[in-house]
Amino acid sequence: MMSARVVPIAAGREVPPQHLGEPGRALWKSIQRDHEITDGAGLALLARACEAQDRLAQVRAQLAADGLLVAGYKKQPRPHPLLAVEAETTRLQLAAIRALGLEIDQ
């Protein structure tokens, strides 16, 4: 796994790690704008939440293309396997956000 590199900028804010995609970078900037996380553990948790955001965007794009049901080995309809990835990734992202002590908009 790639190690996140965080470069501090003015006013204690941090730029997103370079490996994040656009969804992850947008989440990073949004959270940093509101909370200005600067400690190492907090930055690591924030990076995990943003990586999850990137993964969720990929999974959701594939689900949108494939549909929620796929053909099983006997051609029977079954839930898309990526639904489990989406659920687990969402759970991990929410756990990271909660560990940061942030409010989760419902």
Prediction pTM value? 0.83
By residue range, what is the domain housing residue 33? 18-99
Q: Are 96 and 46 in contact (CB under 8 A)?
A: yes
Whether pLDDT at 8 is above 70: no
- Coil vs helix vs strand at 77: strand
Q: Is residue 5 part of a domain?
A: no
Interval 28-84: pLDDT, tens: 999 999 998 989 899 999 999 999 999 999 999 999 999 999 999 999 999 999 999
**Helical residues (DSSP H) of 1-106, grouped into ranges:** 22-35, 40-66, 82-99
Whether pLDDT at 106 is above 80: no
Q: Is residue 68 part of a domain?
A: yes
Please give the Cα distance from 25 to 73 (Å, whole number): 39
Of the two residues 8 and 72, the one the predictor is more confident about is 72
Degrees to nearest 5, angle at CA 39 with 36 and 43: 75
Residue 70's DSSP bridge partners are: 78
Whether pLDDT at 2 is above 70: no
User: How many structural domains is the chain composed of?
Assistant: 1
Residue 78's DSSP bridge partners are: 70
